[in-house]
């Protein structure tokens, strides 16, 4: 009787080892893999800019810069509207920019730094002339997508001028070529 019990025990152990080995072979896919539309971008820190009309003025936290960020990141994709463009984070860690799936542009690579941090390594094709690394931290995932914060984001002088134009102000010609800002950004799943 003891021999029979040992045979069953050996079979059960072999079965558990087999199941455990199969689970180890399954490849874990990052939660960041997918297609994302930049649905919202706002200043996360106030920004002071020189204007012709009023001298230095603050642009407040929460100022909507979605169109400026969509345009900056997706400008190299031939698309009728920035809101139709999206970012593809593929399983092989390649990063593509697309317009409704028609015009995919190999834009670089991406890295999952941690469960709450993502690095987008945009190449010079995506962001001429030298490319750009966008690190998004404090990422929170929900059913609709991802939200996070990006620091040290360079906004070109022309982008700031566009934001000021919405406020009926003119950027002073002596302004620097770019401004470094901190933004909160939302990536909605497509």
What percent of the chain has a predicted confidence (pLDDT) above 90?
48
Judge whether 101 lies within some domain. Answer: yes
83/59 Cα distance (integer angstroms)? 24
**3 found inside a domain:** no
Predicted pLDDT at 84: 77
Stated pTM of the model? 0.76
Cα separation, 142 vs 79, in Å, equals 28
Cα–Cα distance measured from residue 105 to residue 124, given in angstroms and rounded to the nearest whole number:
11
What are the backbone dihedrals phi and psi of residue 108, each rounded to the nearest 5 degrees, phi first? 135, -140
Specify the CATH number for the domain of residue 147.
Answer: 2.40.128
Give the residue numbers spanning the domain of 54.
Answer: 33-189
CA distance 19 to 125: 46
pLDDT digits (tens, 9 = 90+) for 153-190: 888 888 888 888 888 999 999 999 989 999 999 999 98
Q: Is residue 98 part of a domain?
A: yes
**What is the rounded distance in angstroms from the CA atom of residue 167 to the CA atom of residue 86?**
28
Q: Count the domains in the chain.
A: 1
Q: What is the dihedral of CA 42, 162, 123, 80, to 10 degrees?
A: 100
Structural domain contains residue 8: no
Determine contact, residues 106/87, Cβ cutoff 8 Å. no
Is position 4 within any domain?
no
């Amino acid at each position: 009787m003891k021999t029979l019990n040992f045979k069953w025990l050996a079979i059960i152990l072999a079965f558990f080892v087999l199941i455990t080995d199969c689970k180890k072979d399954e490849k874990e896919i990052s939660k960041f893999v997918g297609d994302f539309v930049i649905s919202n971008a706002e200043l996360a820190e106030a920004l002071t800019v020189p204007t012709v009309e009023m001298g230095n003025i603050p642009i407040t936290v929460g100022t909507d810069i979605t169109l400026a960020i969509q345009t900056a990141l997706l400008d190299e994709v031939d698309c009728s509207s920035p809101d139709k463009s999206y970012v593809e984070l593929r399983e092989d860690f390649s990063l593509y920019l697309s317009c409704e799936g028609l015009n995919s542009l190999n834009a670089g690579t991406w890295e999952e730094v941690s469960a709450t941090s993502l690095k987008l390594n945009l190449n010079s094709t995506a962001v001429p002339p030298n490319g750009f690394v966008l690190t998004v931290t404090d990422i929170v995932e929900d059913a609709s997508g991802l939200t996070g914060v990006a620091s040290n984001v360079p906004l070109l002088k022309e982008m700031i001028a566009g934001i000021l134009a919405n406020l009926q102000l003119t950027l002073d010609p002596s302004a620097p070529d770019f401004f470094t800002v901190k933004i909160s950004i939302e990536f909605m799943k497509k």
